[in-house]
Structure 1
Amino acid sequence: MGEPTFEDLFRQAKHSAVHLEMRDGYMRSDPEFVAWSRDPHSVPARHDPVSRHWLALMRETTDRGVAVRRARIFSEPMSDYLRFEHHLTAGNVGAGEQVRWLPRRRASDLALPGNDFWLFDDALVLFLHFTGEGELSPEGDEERTRDPGVVRLCSTAFESVWDRAIPHEEYRPV
């Protein structure tokens, strides 16, 4: 039996899954992003878990009492890609995720790991590796560790960002 899949990690989570995003762009080849860049009105901010598998997974996870929190550190003015993500985030919040935004200028004095990550139940860190263009790295897009020092670093970094960040419902892109 191999390692649990990314989705399995949510299904196995007992109390928390937190995600720290620190890039100004991801997956720019995503067809929805490409369509949105041409015409922002062409991609509705879908809230229906049937149309967005991620929302179904988040609803399933949060309905079990698992707190799912996502914090995004970003540059202002916000990149087009993050404007696209902001456009879709209300669906994430509706599915039970808590999301906050932290302008990069307010993160200068925080100690942060070198890569985006998910931290499950304060025990397992899943680092995500991207190319310079924001695509998942072909050399291996993830790295997992249970090393207590790395877990502590990521937990502390996330909580520091979370404490300063602006709740999604209050943040308006600049």
Structure 2
Amino acid sequence: MESLDAEGWARLFNDCQVSACHLEMRDHYAVAEERADVEKWRAGEWGPEQDAASKAGWLDLMRATSARGVRIRRTRIISEPVTEYIQFEHEGTPQNIAAGEEVRWLPRSRASGLSLPGNDCWIFDSATVLFNHFTGDGGWVGNELSTDPQVAELCTKAFESAWKLGIPHSEYTLPHSAS
């Protein structure tokens, strides 16, 4: 297993010609580079400006990719009521959309009939799949790249099925727990 650096991620998006699709299926991510951001968000010291500044490199890459005519879509399969992390992610999504991503939310209860890959993944031009591996508690483990046509087909079909059922960000309101 490898871990792509910023240059590796940029190369995947720069080589992409038609579409980049991200399938997210976890309710909690605990990646090191977001810990301080989540803490500031919890403390009420976080807003759109801080979010955009924190992920400026990513947003720049999305703007450049989108400007070349590549369609960037992201489907997040989530449990309801949502976790605190999903609340954080939902609040930051407008910055992703402004940079050229399309984002949909799919409540897990509506995804039961879908065949899904075992891990979150990015699918580039329906031909290259980058799996993202995490620990059970959401920590980052690494990436796994596949150009196997059967894997790409499975992941592309899974993404398209989830996308079709997903709710556009502008129409999705987070349900909160009764606690």
Normalised TM-score (structure 1): 0.91
Closer, same or farther in 2 for the Cα pair 1:50/1:114, shift >3 Å? closer
Closer, same or farther in 2 for the Cα pair 1:17/1:49, shift >3 Å? farther
* Count of residue pairs brought into register by the alignment: 167
- Taking only the aligned residue pairs, the percentage that are identical comes to 48
2:13 matched residue in structure 1: 10
Match of 1:111 among 106, 109, 115: 115
- 5+ residue gaps, structure 2, are none
Residue type of the partner of 1:104? R
1:124 matched residue in structure 2: 128
Mapped contact 2:131–2:143 kept (Cα < 8 A): yes
Closer, same or farther in 2 for the Cα pair 1:83/1:28, shift >3 Å? farther
Cα distance in 1 for partners of 2:118, 2:38 equals 25
1:25 matched residue in structure 2: 28
- Let me know the Cα RMSD of the aligned residues: 1.7
Trace 1:44-83 onto structure 2 (pairs within 5 A): 44-46=47-49, 48=52, 52-83=56-87
- 5+ residue gaps, structure 1, are none
Mapped contact 2:31–2:140 kept (Cα < 8 A): no
Normalised TM-score (structure 2): 0.88
1:146 matched residue in structure 2: 147
Report the Cα offset of residue 54 of structure 1.
Answer: 1.1
1:164 matched residue in structure 2: 165
2:100 matched residue in structure 1: 96
